[in-house]
A and B are shown apart, each in its own frame.
Chain A
Amino acid sequence: MATYRELLQQVKGEIDEIDAPDARARHAADVTLFLDIREQDEWDEGAIPGAVHVPRGQLESRIEGLVPDRSREIVVLCAGGSRSAFAARSLADLGYENVSSLAGGFTDWKRNGFPIELPRTLSPKQRSRYSRHLLIPEVGEAGQQRLLDSRVLLIGAGGLGSPASLYLAAAGVGTIGIVDADVVDDSNLQRQIVHSTERLGEPKALSAKRTIEALNPDVEVKAYEERLTSENVERILADGWDVIVDGADNFPTRYLVNDASVWHGIPVVHGSIYRFEGQATVFKPRLPGSAAGEADGARAEEGGPCYRCLFPSPPPPELAPSCAEGGVLGVLPGIIGSLQANETLKLLLGVGDTLEGRLLLFDALGTTFDEVSVKRDPTCPVCGDRPEITEYIDYVEFCQPSASQSADGARR
């Protein structure tokens, strides 16, 4: 039987150790993964910049998800170098081939005056609320922080905006903007689950704000009780948004959202529904400035298609019945709006493959998903190589040439 001291000596003899200056050199080279296995409260008080934190007790269960590549160079550290020695041996037992323990640990690193940072940390309440996210390597604490720092603008708090806003809020997207001029009507409640019977007559933007803030107090909701128009779009976008979720119910707004998003370089997560069928895609137009800049090859990254590449013009009004005329299965916007939330979260986290360049077609009757490809149109009047439309147009006239006059007078 060995004492602790004997066991530690034995383990240290079986692993590689490096000292702080050596670790500093590797840190500067920026290829080594620094794995900090201290407890949460130790980590909260300071850490090596860029280090990944996994408390010792969770190391074996989480390391494969975090570091699938077993040949990756890892420096494991604790406060003084003892816990990390045992951890290094455990990692070797798991097949990690390139593991060193930082002798002297974080204490020695700090004593040498090497760089440290105060990690931005979640509160204990947040850690509990988002625990299922924290367990996913693609999200984790850094990803959750990113969501909390993110700003998503929802066009419409209706069928699509309801599930999208609820899931984005639950996921901890820190700021959610909602543009909707409508009030809650009893015919909405068959599908618009962010509202409720007691909210009848209440502005939808405010009703959604109440529901969302009750669901998650981390989320700040900016309610815009107005319809998006050429007159207010710049003011609303000036509040700064990372992603726009388009759940608009009419073509003029769709084209307006598109043009504004192209000019501002904001990705749009698109969804639309009718009866039993829905569509979803992601428009990620190229960054502003890069359109004219064929010469500056450094930033010549070609953007994805925009809404106008997919549908250069709307159908004539008589061929485009709305859900108010044609109806919609209540759960359909739940499915499409949830897909929009999924795409939005991936865009914010920078993980996975989005629907950019693909239009997903869902048929609720057959329960089938199909997809068709969507390509950027170099002749697109807005995002093409030689854009003809460079400022807001009369979108009502564009979408409904014959009816624009009456639309002006007889609204609502």
Chain B
Amino acid sequence: MTSVRIPPTLRNEVGGERQVEASGASVREVLEDLARRYPALESQLFEDGELAPFVNVYLGGEDVRTLDGLETSVDGQQLILLPAMAGGSRELAFN
């Protein structure tokens, strides 16, 4: 099992957990397992079967896009999911 850190913006989709376990040998398998168990995550992780451009996935502190992408072998290391956060105090509108 691989532990996956869930960012605060995606916790509603996994029942509020900060960390969940998922199985699979590659990053793709682990994320697909996650999406199977938490269907609401699907659209936030994948776009046309590939990793969505607005989410970063880190394995052992490295962006998997700089490794072998979704085919990177997870090797028991922790995965961190990280979408961009704007982080301020107002609505998203560019006002």
* Interface set of A (CB-CB < 8 Å, partner B): 156, 158-160, 182, 187-188, 191-192, 227, 247-254, 271-279, 310-317, 319-326, 328, 359, 361, 363, 365-366, 370-375, 395-396, 399-400, 403, 407, 410-412
Q: CA A273 – CA B85 in complex, angstroms?
A: 7
* Interface set of B (CB-CB < 8 Å, partner A): 7-9, 18, 44, 53-56, 58, 61-63, 66, 80, 82-95
Cβ-defined partner of A250 (8 Å) among B44, B55, B56, B90: B90
The answer to whether B84 and A320 have CB atoms under 8 Å apart is yes
The answer to whether A323 and B89 have CB atoms under 8 Å apart is yes
Q: How far is the CB of B11 from chain A (nearest CB, A)?
A: 9
Cβ-defined partner of B54 (8 Å) among A253, A277, A316: A316
User: Which of A274, A361, A395: most chain B Cβ within 10 A?
Assistant: A274
The answer to whether B92 and A251 have CB atoms under 8 Å apart is yes
Q: CA A252 – CA B66 in complex, angstroms?
A: 26
Decide: A250 near B7, CB < 8 A? Known: A319-B44, A373-B63, A407-B95: no
Q: CA A192 – CA B88 in complex, angstroms?
A: 11
The answer to whether A372 and B82 have CB atoms under 8 Å apart is yes
The answer to whether B86 and A249 have CB atoms under 8 Å apart is yes
Q: How far is the CB of A378 from chain B (nearest CB, A)?
A: 11
Q: CA A382 – CA B68 in complex, angstroms?
A: 24
Q: CA A274 – CA B86 in complex, angstroms?
A: 8
Smallest Cβ-Cβ distance to B10: which chain A residue: A319
The answer to whether B7 and A277 have CB atoms under 8 Å apart is yes
Query: Nearest 7 CB-CB pairs, A to B?
Result: A249-B88, A272-B87, A411-B95, A311-B84, A252-B94, A315-B54, A273-B87
The answer to whether A276 and B8 have CB atoms under 8 Å apart is yes
Since A158-B89, A320-B92, A412-B95 are in contact, a sample of 11 more A-B pairs with Cβ atoms closer than 8 Å, ordered by chain A residue number, is A272-B87, A312-B54, A314-B86, A316-B54, A319-B83, A326-B9, A328-B89, A370-B80, A371-B61, A372-B56, A407-B93
Q: CA A276 – CA B6 in complex, angstroms?
A: 13
The answer to whether B86 and A254 have CB atoms under 8 Å apart is yes
The answer to whether A314 and B84 have CB atoms under 8 Å apart is yes
